[in-house]
Amino acid sequence: MCNLYTIDAKLADWARDFAAFLGLRLALPAGAAEGRSNLTWRSPMYPKYHGLFARPVDPADHEAGLEPVVGRWGVVPFFHKGPAKDWKFPTNNCRSEEMATKPSFRDALKTKRCILPATGFCEYTGPKGAMTRHTITRADGGPLFLAGLWASHDHDGERTESYTMVMQAARDGDDMFPFHNRQPVVLDRHSARVWLDLEADYREVLSAPARGSLAFDPPAPVPA
């Protein structure tokens, strides 16, 4: 599962990339085009850090564009009683096989899908205590757009926006298979629209990236 990724670009750059790679408009807040914005995030990203995700401005209007949001990496579901900081369960990753039934994710799957922009993500190989970290990027140097779910949690007047990264199995023949048995759901121009369309069958997007589309540094896995 993924517990480390990077978002190494400014908001205005991400708006350009959403348009160029996905054909989707990212609605920029005031000042973002000039490099000034109150939306800031950490990179590299670890669970419970605050990162960037993009959700539909209006899920019923596919032309309304996407809203950039900064939230906690690790869903805090609406039903949690108490402050967000007291939510202890590891919900930064969501197994695609479980998201339709697991209480932490099933409401979000129905109504709150989003896209996570990333410049890369990391996995580890090798024995415990001497592991090698592999940085995974797009082979063509472009950005990654990953399927995610988001949630809002309210407690004593405090609202916490949060999100999770959807993970699927890595199978023999997939680029990721030598490095880990799970992998993010990487979206392209078509699958991004399917994922955000609440009337569409989301299972269509649950497939591995095309063979050779990911690059790994270091390129070879380390034996366990």
Q: With 60 as the cut, is the pLDDT of residue 32 above it?
A: no
Q: With 80 as the cut, is the pLDDT of residue 6 above it?
A: yes
- The mean pLDDT value for 146-170 works out to 94
pTM for the full model? 0.94
User: What's the CATH code of the domain at 171?
Assistant: 3.90.1680.10
Q: With 60 as the cut, is the pLDDT of residue 31 above it?
A: no
Whether 223 maps to a domain, the answer reads no
* pLDDT for 86: 87
| Bigger pLDDT: 96 vs 222 | 96
Q: With 60 as the cut, is the pLDDT of residue 139 above it?
A: yes
Whether 224 maps to a domain, the answer reads no
Q: Residue 83: pLDDT band by 50, 70, 90 thresholds?
A: confident
Whether 64 maps to a domain, the answer reads yes
Whether 188 maps to a domain, the answer reads yes
Q: With 60 as the cut, is the pLDDT of residue 11 above it?
A: yes
* pLDDT for 30: 65
Whether 186 maps to a domain, the answer reads yes
Are 80 and 89 contacting, i.e. CB atoms less than 8 angstroms apart?
A: no
* pLDDT for 224: 64
Domain extent for 115: 5-217
Mean pLDDT score of the chain, rounded to an integer?
92
Q: With 50 as the cut, is the pLDDT of residue 34 above it?
A: no
Amino acid at 139: A
Q: What is the percentage of the chain residues whose pLDDT exceeds 70?
A: 96
Structurally, how many domains does the chain consist of?
Answer: 1
**Lowest mean pLDDT: which of 26-30, 73-77, 134-138?**
26-30
Whether 53 maps to a domain, the answer reads yes
Whether 165 maps to a domain, the answer reads yes
Q: With 50 as the cut, is the pLDDT of residue 215 above it?
A: yes
Q: With 90 as the cut, is the pLDDT of residue 129 above it?
A: no
Structure token digits, residue 117: 């922009």
CA angle 95, 113, 35 (to 5 degrees): 115
* pLDDT for 37: 61
* pLDDT for 222: 76
Q: With 70 as the cut, is the pLDDT of residue 49 above it?
A: yes
Whether 162 maps to a domain, the answer reads yes
- The mean pLDDT value for 113-123 works out to 97
| Bigger pLDDT: 142 vs 60 | 142
